[in-house]
Amino acid sequence: MRIVLGVAGGIAAYKAVLLLRLLREAGHDVRVIPTRAALRFVGRPTWEALSGHPATPEVFEDVEHVPHVGLGQGADLVVVAPATADLLSRAATGRADDLLTSTLLTVRCPVLLAPAMHTEMWDHAATRANVATLRERGVHVMEPASGRLTGADTGPGRLPEPADIASAALALVDAADAAGRAPVAGSGPGDAPVDLAEHPVDLAEHPADLAEHPADLAGRHVVVSAGGTREPIDPVRYLGNRSSGRQGYALARTARSRGARVTLVAANVVLDDPAGVDVVAVESTAQLRDAVHAAAKDADVVVMAAAVADFRPARTAEHKIKKRADHAVEPLVLEPNPDVLAELAGERRRPGQIVVGFAAETGDTDGDVLSHGREKARRKGADLLAVNAVGGGLGFGTADNAVTILDAAGAVVETAAGSKDVVADAIWDAVVRLF
């Protein structure tokens, strides 16, 4: 695939180097078009060595090939990262004062802009108006991530991680191929791949897989829990589990891409926060319970992907428990934690709310993974239960997953296997069918 990677003049331009590597390693032909300001952050030799193509901001280089027209006409995908406030302004007003903005006027393929700037610039009315204009024209503008910015300040405006940008960009092309037509940037709502006139912000804001999933969660509030809870034994030790939070984060990320407003309750997760998602960090089951119940009050869907501890110490030691040869250690007494999933699926459920649970099983002498999952589905009362085998290199901490999705009676709704994003989309497909 022929990709044009535009790079505007922001400090986050260095991250575009990794994005270039990711796209090249995936087998794509990438032509980098930096702005003049971008070359003050990362020089031409870097872009040219890694892409294998000339990298210039100038319209008047290689003029015999008319690059300001030819690059856009021949592209299958255009990604601009970082897209600064200046670049967004020039693109929205149709400026053509360098090779990148000229190319943006000629493309008829999917275009993804990944903004990066200080929070004040992102929140300014002019920037918001420019973003709205671009989205109305069918250009896909990601929400920036929140986090540490150039100085000591933090907030929204951070460039999304290169892997997230690459995933979102390539999903646009996959969606266009599946639909048999490309989303045309710049031609207005009437020619956009989905009904941008009806949802001008929701659809363009969430770039992944628009043709297959045309923002089918738009207008919905979904709550996702992720990670594994920890129950303190003393100030140093805790009872925990091996959950990395990757599946929950994939559920949050894909829900956002399908148009939802997402609250992610994360228990002891060390992953980067998904862009555009509200993240609530917790540690113990009690904290997770409080956070999920609070967020679920106005939620349309709650997905309990976190590995919640079934038990906690009956007493937490005030000081570190010492290991001494002449001192007997008291036995660790456990008590059950509240069943958060059963509470959500029970009488406290908001009318019309869909509740999805997870069952990580290993199988034993009493039954296999699926039989344990069916019993749990009937006992918990959730609308859907995703059952997956764990242990022996499966489930926890891996890049891939495989689940069997059951209904409340234990019947198989569907199965899914592959990356955790693929599994997440299968779960959202099952949820959407319940609306």
Residues labelled catalytic: 241
pLDDT for residue 207 is more than 60:
no
Per-state percent for the chain, helix, strand, coil, to nearest 5: 35, 25, 40
Q: Are residues 237 and 375 in the same domain?
A: yes
Q: For the chain, state the CA radius of gyration.
A: 24
CATH number of the domain that residue 238 is part of: 3.40.50.10300
- Determine, yes or no, domain membership for 51: yes
Q: Residue 363's domain spans which residues?
A: 221-434
Counting the structural domains of the chain, the total is 2
Q: What are phi and psi for residue 78, nearest 5 degrees?
A: -125, 130
The C-alpha atoms of residue 237 and residue 103 are separated, in whole angstroms, by 57
If asked whether residues 237 and 303 sit together in one domain, one would say yes
Q: Are 192 and 230 in a shared domain?
A: no
- Quick check: 180 pLDDT over 60? no
| Domain co-membership, 269 together with 348 | yes
Same domain, 257 and 168: no
Residue 212 lies in a domain: no
**In the block, residue with structure tokens 């031609």:** 187
188 in the same domain as 251: no
Q: Which residue has the higher pLDDT, 202 or 106?
A: 106
d(CA 308, CA 225): 9
Distance, in Å, from the CA atom of 216 to the CA atom of 429, rounded to the nearest integer, reads 9
Question: Considering the domain boundaries, does residue 395 fall inside one?
Answer: yes
Residue 152 included in any domain: yes
Pair 239, 193 in one domain:
no
Residues 163 and 260 in one domain: no
Instruction: Output the CA–CA distances (angstroms, integers) from residue 119 to 86, 127, 149, 158, 225, in the order listed.
Output: 14, 11, 9, 8, 27
Distance CA 11, CA 8 (A): 9
Whole-angstrom distance, CA of residue 201 vs CA of residue 259: 9
Residue range 374-398: mean pLDDT, rounded: 79
For the chain, give the percent of residues with pLDDT over 90.
55
Q: Residue 169: pLDDT above 90?
A: no
Q: Is residue 216, in this structure, part of any structural domain at all?
A: no
pLDDT in tens, 58-117: 887 776 655 667 787 888 999 999 999 999 999 999 999 999 999 999 998 999 999 999
- Domain end residue (candidates: 142, 176, 205): 205
What are the beta bridge partners of residue 278?
263
Residue 151 domain-assigned (yes or no): yes
14 and 139 part of one domain: yes
106 and 69 fall within a common domain: yes
